[in-house]
Amino acid sequence: MENKKGYTLIELVIAIGIVLILGTSIVSAYINLNRSRVSIYEIQDVSNKLQNAMENAIVSIKNSNSNVEYEDVNVELEKVSDDLFEVRVSFGEKYELKKLVKKGVYSD
């Protein structure tokens, strides 16, 4: 009986399986990386819009307006007592922030 060189069918199937598993892992990691980048850009966009809205709110409050809208960010100021205000910041329908602020605590 001669010694034949080559691969058996089982060896080829196992090698193809390993390559498929590695390829799937690499593609999955790449997709997750792109999703993370999109999430980071969304967070930065929300942060920038909120910052601009807060700056507009400060100017508006100094000019005696109680509500400010900037793009899809809404900032509302409601007087609770003589030295206490409730500030509500909403961004679209996803995010909302409420905070009680004492008069004179925050300044620019």
Range of the domain at 63: 9-102
* Residue 70 pLDDT: 61
Establish if 4 belongs to a structural domain: no
2 part of a folded domain: no
Indicate whether 66 belongs to any domain.
yes
**65 within domain boundaries:** yes
DSSP label of 71: T
The pLDDT score that the predictor gives to residue 108 is 40
Neighbours of 95 (CB within 10 A): 11
Quick one: pLDDT at residue 107? Answer: 44
Contact 16, 7 (CB under 8 A): no
1: exposed, middle or buried (Cβ count in 10 Å: 0-12, 13-18, 19+): exposed
Going residue by residue through the chain, which has 108 residues, state the pLDDT in tens, using 9 for 90 and above.
Answer: 566 777 788 988 999 999 999 999 999 998 888 888 877 787 788 778 877 777 776 666 666 555 656 667 777 777 778 777 777 777 777 777 777 777 665 444
Residue 50 lies in a domain: yes
Query: How many structural domains is the chain composed of?
Result: 1
* Dihedral Cα 52, 105, 94, 34, nearest 10 deg: 60
Number of residues in the chain: 108
